[in-house]
Amino acid sequence: TAGVTVYQEGDTYVKLGGRIQLQYHYADPDNGSSEDEVFFRRFRPYIEGSVHPDWKGKFQWDMGKASGDNEIAVKDAYMQYTGMENMKFTIGNAKFPFSRENLTSSKKQQLVERTFVGDHNYGSPDRTAGIHLTGKSGDLFTWGASFASSSIDPDEDKLDFDTPVNSNSDFNEGWVYGGRVDFHPFGPLKFSQGDFKGETKATIGLAAFQWENDNDNNTNQAGKPDVDSVTGFEISGAFRAAGFSVDAEYNMFDADTVNGAYTGGIFRNGSTDLENWALEGGYMVMPGKLELVAGYESQDADNYGKEWTRTSVGANWFVHKHDLKFQLTYRMGENVDGVNGADEDEVFLQGQFVF
């Protein structure tokens, strides 16, 4: 695992680590002119430490996309109790146990960008601030359960969850609870894409959550319908064998707006069933060095004219597995935002360094 323990004596230790993702992104929509940019997709150091047994604290923050007034994003930020067998108890800002792809670290993805099923813009709750339990039962089951404060950045085109610890003035505040179970018939399989080991592994996962607006900050602005509640459901799976790596996920979100008559973007008459799924896979044509990957993702919403789909192909060159790699993804989007015929082609080229 990443990070370097720079000091350890008894129960006292300090660990440092970081990730750099420098991305070139080119977008060419059918309607409109193409644009490109170079930016840090992620630029994220972390410090972890402890001076007492069974407890640790983690400080992780991101300085990529440090533009305008959005300069810092607080990431893993928690204290954690590790003194129980098979279970960890976390207090603070941490990942929510929903969406296999979201729970797969950004540094361990096959495609440069997550698909609809893992993107916090489309229903996955992002990090939340609260209490989190994660655990395992033997080698066959892993699980997670959280109760936390969680915000939604209102936008009629999205179902955009954000952590409340980096809130903007228009965020809907709320509470979320949920949990997941993953079954690993051939022994534990971590949330990590790409098959470096060649062992046969598989996972099937189920998850669900409920988010409720606490009505502390509804701003009712144009194009930004306040979200009242969201219920989410996930079924997902993964398979690894002989250099093949496949991840599949289906999510369903039932979301209501505070204004029961709101129509626009993904919402019709104050409600939407946002449904998305994705299939991603790859094969190591040069084991541990070069992987060819492909993905297909789809999203539908009550108010979409037509299903939004994206087809991706790409290649990953691993210099040192996920620690140091270069990724190229070509993504073809159709009916962007559910608008029939609104197509867009994108190129993502990314270099990654992790220590």
Which spans of this chain sit near its own copies (rule: CB under 8 A)?
Answer: 2, 4-7, 12-14, 16-18, 20, 22, 35-40, 43, 45, 47, 49-52, 55-57, 59, 61, 63-64, 66-74, 77-79, 91-93, 129-130, 148-149, 164-169, 173, 214, 216, 319-320, 323-324, 351, 353-355
Nearer to its own copies, 54 or 139 (CB): 54
The alpha carbon dihedral of 117, 120, 122, 125 has a sign of positive
Give residues with Cβ within 8 angstroms of 289, minimum separation 6.
317, 318
User: What's the min distance (Å) between Cβ of 163 and its own copies?
Assistant: 10
Distance CA 348, CA 331 (A): 8
User: What's the min distance (Å) between Cβ of 138 and its own copies?
Assistant: 30
27: part of which helix (H) or strand (E)?
Answer: strand 12-29
208 within 8 A of 165, measured Cβ to Cβ:
no
Nearer to its own copies, 306 or 320 (CB): 320
User: What's the min distance (Å) between Cβ of 34 and its own copies?
Assistant: 9
73 within 8 A of 61, measured Cβ to Cβ:
yes
Question: Which amino acid is present at 32?
Answer: G
User: What's the min distance (Å) between Cβ of 94 and its own copies?
Assistant: 11
102: part of which helix (H) or strand (E)?
Answer: helix 100-103
Nearer to its own copies, 68 or 85 (CB): 68
Nearer to its own copies, 85 or 216 (CB): 216
Among the listed residues 162, 181, 180, the one whose alpha carbon sits nearest the alpha carbon of residue 172: 162
User: What's the min distance (Å) between Cβ of 298 and its own copies?
Assistant: 29
Nearer to its own copies, 137 or 215 (CB): 215
Residue appearing with tokens 């983690």: 58
Query: What is the DSSP track for 151-164?
Result: EEE--TT-BEEE-G
Nearer to its own copies, 77 or 238 (CB): 77
25 within 8 A of 351, measured Cβ to Cβ:
no
Nearer to its own copies, 62 or 275 (CB): 62
User: What's the min distance (Å) between Cβ of 173 and its own copies?
Assistant: 7
Nearer to its own copies, 73 or 117 (CB): 73
- Length reported for the chain: 355
User: What's the min distance (Å) between Cβ of 101 and its own copies?
Assistant: 25
301 within 8 A of 225, measured Cβ to Cβ:
no
Residue 86 main-chain phi, psi, to 5 deg: 65, 15
75 within 8 A of 63, measured Cβ to Cβ:
no
User: What's the min distance (Å) between Cβ of 196 and its own copies?
Assistant: 15
